[in-house]
Amino acid sequence: MLNKISAKMAALNSELDYRRKLWQYAPKLPALEPGDRIIVDTLKREGICITTLANLGFDSTPKLLDAAHTLLPNIGKDIYTNSSQNPPEIYTVTHLPNFYTWGSEQRLLNILEHYIGLPVAYHGVQIRKDFLNTSQFSTMLWHRDSEDRRIIKIIIYLNDVEEKHGPFEYVPASFTSIYNPNFYRLYYKIYNSGINDETLNKIVPKSAWKSCQGPAGTVIIADTQRLLHHGTVRTQERSTLFFVYTANPPKRPGLCTQYWDDTYPKPEVLQEIR
């Protein structure tokens, strides 16, 4: 009982400290380029903003795409049959300048700092291929990420993504916000693991879900803590880049090391294992 009370008090203090830091940092936020204000406002309102590499117009984009398309032919060379569970192949590329540099573009960091409201930690970038699957498992189950109070994942599609490629899909924030009873219906169901389409459909109808389909070069900037999300079951493979950001320091730093440590292989092994 005493332990429970002290845990609650610690959580409350941590929340108050977070609110105080947001308030103190607000006057120190960097200046935004006029067009970037729209991205920040959309993120604040909806928890997601979908744009394109061309619209962002970073100088580092051609080198990023060259680097990604040089690696892609060496990823996913195994034969993936129509099995129910083919896990994705994920490679950490944070240490490679052409990937890291795109994710540390100053304009991008300024946008994210305005959304997160605190100095930003850029944790890293991974390139991944997701393969055909007939049933939902792992990140194809509906879930929220939990590294921090606000987490931005930037997903770049490296191939055209239609329904058959398993697009990123999310529930609009208003359906699952803390002011909506759905929040409490979902809370324990998604506490330790994700839920499948059938379970979610009973709480938030499928008609409300948003599928993010788009051509290669589509950029999805999403708060994956705030939005219930998943990757959908696919019949064709999908290639993406994932960039990850939180406040610095994040609430759970231990969950963030996977974006730069040896949890996932680095591309050097592609030569050794093939």
Choose the binding region for Fe ion from 63-71, 85-93, 142-150, 166-174 (rule: CB under 5 A).
Answer: 142-150
Closer CB to Fe ion, residue 170 or residue 260?
Answer: 170
Closer CB to Fe ion, residue 145 or residue 148?
Answer: 145
Q: DSSP letters along the chain, please? A: -HHHHHHHHHHHHHHHHHHHHHHHHGGGPPP--TTHHHHHHHHHHHSEEEEEHHHH--TTHHHHHHHHHHHGGGSS-S---S-S--PPEEEE-TTSHHHHHHHT-HHHHHHHHHHH-SPEEEEEEEEEEE---SS--GGGSBB---SSSS-EEEEEESS-B-GGG--EEE--HHHHSTTSHHHHHHHTTTTSS-B-HHHHHTTS-GGG-EEE-B-TTEEEEEETTTS-EEEPP-SS-EEEEEEEEEESS-S-GGGTGGGTSSSS--TTHHHHH-
Min dist CB 264 to Fe ion, Å, is: 15
Min dist CB 40 to Fe ion, Å, is: 22
145 contributes a contact to Fe ion by CB under 5 A: yes
State the number of binding residues for Fe ion (CB under 5 A): 2
Closer CB to Fe ion, residue 119 or residue 172?
Answer: 172
223 contributes a contact to Fe ion by CB under 5 A: no
Q: Which residue is nearest to Fe ion (CB)?
A: 145
130 contributes a contact to Fe ion by CB under 5 A: no
Min dist CB 75 to Fe ion, Å, is: 20
Crossing angle for the helix pair 106-116 and 36-46, to the nearest 10 degrees: 30
**Per-position x/- string for 48-87, each x denoting binding to Fe ion as judged by CB under 5 A, each - no binding:** ----------------------------------------
Closer CB to Fe ion, residue 146 or residue 248?
Answer: 146
Min dist CB 237 to Fe ion, Å, is: 19
**Per-position x/- string for 86-125, each x denoting binding to Fe ion as judged by CB under 5 A, each - no binding:** ----------------------------------------
Binding site for Fe ion (CB under 5 A): 145, 224
